[in-house]
Amino acid sequence: MEHMKRRNSGHHRCLAVSLLVLVLGGIGACGDGAGDASRSAARSAPDGVPIWRVDADATVVIGNNTGGDPLFRVMGAVRLRDGRIVVANSGMYQLQIYDVQGQHLVSSGQRGGAPGAFEQLSWIGTDGDSIFTWDTGLQRLSVWDDAGRFVRSVLLTIELGIFPNMVGRFADGALVVAAGLDLGGTAIQRPGAAWRDSTTYLLIDPAGGVRDTLGRFPGTERYTSTVAGGRGIEVETVPFGRHTVTATADATLYVGTGDDYSIQKVEHRNGRAEPVISDFRERVRITAADRAEYWEKLISASPSASPPPEVPYPEVLRPYDALIVDAEGDLWVKDAELPRHWEERSRWRVYSPAGELRAVVELPPRLRVHAIGTDWILGTGRAADQVEHVRLYGLVRD
């Protein structure tokens, strides 16, 4: 196991870029546009592969008129066994619980470091009647009951770098954590060139100690640029660049590094990375028009954004954008999209745990998917007024 030293830095623009992407991730989601989902999916589904259908309209919409504080920087949402929905409303430093119709019931949490408070709420999970939250800034897991009452917290006992991410929980309660970025690494000393620092995935026991190291994999593709006037450096995410997607199920970590259309699995009992999905997809070349449209859309969401003078654009688009394991154990892989397709329905491919392509599904534009059940999909989008809405859709598995 490698213990990572935390460093402070005055330049965390990579987080700002991530928040801009979060904003862009909801633009244009005001209309579901799901009426032609089956026809659109049919054009991309291989012969004999079923097309699963998603309801044209959301059955539950949580937003402006459903009570509670406004949704701002939603970092996740889960559905409890009785159908209630719990939202990690990071910008308001709260957990918000809604009934099965989407009406607000209770909010828990506040800003700060005290027990039951948040500094950087970044993940939410559930298991039976318990709710779990991860605070990236505090490196703290908190446990809540299904009424939103704070139960206890666990503070991790090792340094994990900057912005360590919670990947998920194993069935036995162990946590899978991706160690954060080390801004003192040697890769960051190469301004203008793309680099991928490796990320260590740790298995943390419920008491907060390290149980094991699951592996090291390439992280997000980044580059550094010099601040105007030479006052320092900024860390940026490479537009269209590769990033690693992860998900957990039972005692398995699934990892896709974005080098090609493949997903690996690491089972804790043997600790080896083994291929589970290996599929051929023709890579999409990135044009000058794609690069210009990327920044045009970014600037429209945040007028302060501007393209740095030297960006190491890749020649081809990464193969996928997201990975989720649903309630049935199937793996959902979201195709990466060029900016000109951001307003269109997103395409997902569903694979069995053995790696067989089971179905193709198309979801509403700009929907960030948080959880998938047997017959439902829960995610966040934005309306025309740019207000975030958590939406629940029905799913039909043909």
DSSP string, 148-186: S-EEEEEE-SS-B-BS-EEEEE-TTS-EEEE--B-TTSG
142 lies in the same domain as 257: no
The answer to whether residue 6 sits within a structural domain is no
The answer to whether residue 2 sits within a structural domain is no
115 lies in the same domain as 43: no
Q: What is the domain range of residue 95? A: 71-155
Residue that terminates a domain, selected from 127, 155, 183: 155
The answer to whether residue 3 sits within a structural domain is no
CB 140 within 8 A of CB 153: yes
pLDDT of residue 46: 79
- How far apart CA 222 and CA 239 sit, in angstroms, is 9
Give me the number of domains the chain comprises.
2
294 lies in the same domain as 324: yes
pLDDT of residue 133: 97
CB 27 within 8 A of CB 301: yes
Identify the CA nearest to 141 among candidates 158, 157, 124, 153.
Answer: 153
302 lies in the same domain as 340: yes
pLDDT of residue 8: 32
Identify the CA nearest to 22 among candidates 325, 373, 370.
Answer: 370
Residue that terminates a domain, selected from 125, 155, 185: 155
276 lies in the same domain as 301: yes
Give the number of C-alpha atoms closer than 13 A to the C-alpha of residue 357, restricted to the C-beta side.
Answer: 18
93 lies in the same domain as 225: no
CATH of the domain at 94: 2.40.10.480
pLDDT of residue 129: 85
149 lies in the same domain as 179: no
57 lies in the same domain as 122: no
pLDDT of residue 1: 34
User: pLDDT tens digits for the chain (398 residues)?
Assistant: 333 333 333 333 333 334 344 444 443 333 444 444 444 544 567 778 999 999 989 999 998 778 888 999 999 999 999 999 999 999 999 999 999 999 999 999 999 999 999 999 999 999 988 999 999 989 999 999 999 999 999 988 777 777 789 999 999 999 999 987 665 554 555 667 888 888 999 999 988 888 999 999 998 898 887 776 666 777 888 999 999 999 999 999 999 999 999 999 999 888 789 999 998 888 999 999 999 999 998 877 676 667 777 789 999 999 999 999 999 999 999 999 999 999 899 999 999 999 999 999 999 998 999 999 999 999 999 876 778 999 999 999 98
pLDDT of residue 22: 44
166 lies in the same domain as 295: yes
The answer to whether residue 274 sits within a structural domain is yes
- How far apart CA 88 and CA 78 sit, in angstroms, is 9
Residue that terminates a domain, selected from 120, 155, 190: 155
165 lies in the same domain as 151: no
The answer to whether residue 281 sits within a structural domain is yes
pLDDT of residue 188: 56
